[in-house]
């Protein structure tokens, strides 16, 4: 791998959530280190990295550091608003997955990492995968229609809706199905759209959602 494909000094935001590519992430930011991080990302038009917390808290303590999972997703800030003094409301969108090669804690407590971008999903192949994908896309279409009818402003997905795209469909289902966080992390780490479709299809069969 060439050194140009490694991302140096990526600011990291460890959270009790898993961000997928094209996923929406609303955040209320009030800690000084993350306020500074958000302002710099806005000013420089650069992303930050979102990682699921492996251990520690979102608010790091001196004797309990925040330890991120090794695979996360870059996020770009799309909207920003000031709710009250000292608090930022931002809406970020996931772009690309990465693997952390190393990370360190800066003086202000911000985690910063060296990251390697991960490849896009392997495309879907095979009739069995395509049939499962069709069933998954139908379920997601129903979910979107139900949320739109109930509360169109609370839709957790950004348009355009790419219901013909196995990666987009499997990522969105992985976000909204009540899957445990560690399992959701494993789904995000998969680099094969067919494998992710298999897992969410099996989950929905088990829970009689198909």
Model confidence at 4, pLDDT cuts 50, 70, 90, reads: low
CA max distance for the chain: 55
Question: What is the tens place of the pLDDT at every residue in 75-106?
Answer: 999 999 987 777 899 999 999 999 999 999 88
Q: Using a pLDDT cut of 90, give the percent of the chain over it.
A: 73
Residue reference for tokens 């970020």: 92
| Residue 64 reports pLDDT greater than 80 | no
Model confidence at 2, pLDDT cuts 50, 70, 90, reads: very low
For the chain, what are the domain ranges?
3-117, 127-206
Q: What per-residue confidence (pLDDT) applies to 5?
A: 86
Q: What per-residue confidence (pLDDT) applies to 65?
A: 72
Which of 106-110, 111-115, 145-149, 174-178 bottoms out in mean pLDDT, i.e. has the lowest? 106-110
Q: What per-residue confidence (pLDDT) applies to 61?
A: 63
Structure tokens belonging to residue 8: 């140096």
CB-neighbour burial class of residue 92 (10 A; exposed 0-12, middle 13-18, buried 19+): buried
> Residues near 136 by Cβ (< 8 Å), separated by ≥ 6?
169, 170, 173, 197, 200, 201, 204
CB crowding 121-149: b at 16 or more within 10 Å, else e: beebeeeebeebbebbbebbeebbeebee
Topology (CATH level 3) of domain 127-206: LON domain-like fold (1.10.4060)
pTM of the predicted protein model: 0.91
Cα–Cα separations (whole angstroms), residue 32 to 36, 63, 108, 121, 170: 6, 19, 8, 36, 35
Q: What per-residue confidence (pLDDT) applies to 58?
A: 64
Pairing of strands 111-117, 7-15: antiparallel
Considering the domain 3-117 in this protein, what is its CATH number?
A: 2.30.130.40
Q: What per-residue confidence (pLDDT) applies to 63?
A: 67
Q: Which residues pair with 13 in a beta bridge?
A: 50
Which of 48-52, 126-130, 138-142, 164-168 bottoms out in mean pLDDT, i.e. has the lowest? 126-130
Q: What per-residue confidence (pLDDT) applies to 59?
A: 62
Mean pLDDT of 108-117: 92
Question: What is the tens place of the pLDDT at every residue in 156-174?
Answer: 998 899 999 999 999 999 9
Mean pLDDT of 54-74: 79
Model confidence at 152, pLDDT cuts 50, 70, 90, reads: confident
């Amino acid at each position: 791998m060439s050194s140009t494909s490694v991302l140096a000094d990526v600011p990291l935001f460890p959270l009790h959530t898993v961000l997928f590519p094209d996923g929406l992430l609303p955040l209320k930011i009030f800690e000084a280190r993350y306020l500074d991080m958000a302002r710099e990302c806005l000013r420089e038009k650069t992303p930050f990295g979102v990682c699921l917390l492996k251990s520690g808290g979102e608010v790091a303590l001196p004797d309990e550091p925040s330890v991120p999972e090794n695979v996360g997703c870059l996020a770009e800030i799309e909207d920003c608003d000031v709710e009250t003094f000292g608090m930022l409301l931002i809406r970020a969108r996931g772009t690309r997955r990465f693997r952390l090669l190393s990370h360190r804690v800066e003086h202000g407590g911000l985690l910063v990492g060296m990251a390697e971008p991960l490849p896009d999903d392997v495309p879907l192949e095979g009739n069995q995968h395509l049939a499962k994908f069709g069933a998954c896309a139908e379920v997601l279409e129903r979910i979107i229609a139900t949320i739109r009818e109930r509360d169109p402003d609370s839709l957790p997905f950004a348009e355009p809706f790419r219901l013909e795209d196995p990666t987009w469909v499997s990522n969105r289902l992985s976000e909204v199905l009540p899957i445990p966080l560690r399992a959701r992390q494993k789904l995000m780490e998969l680099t094969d759209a067919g494998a992710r479709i298999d897992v969410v299809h099996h989950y929905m069969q088990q829970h009689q959602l198909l």
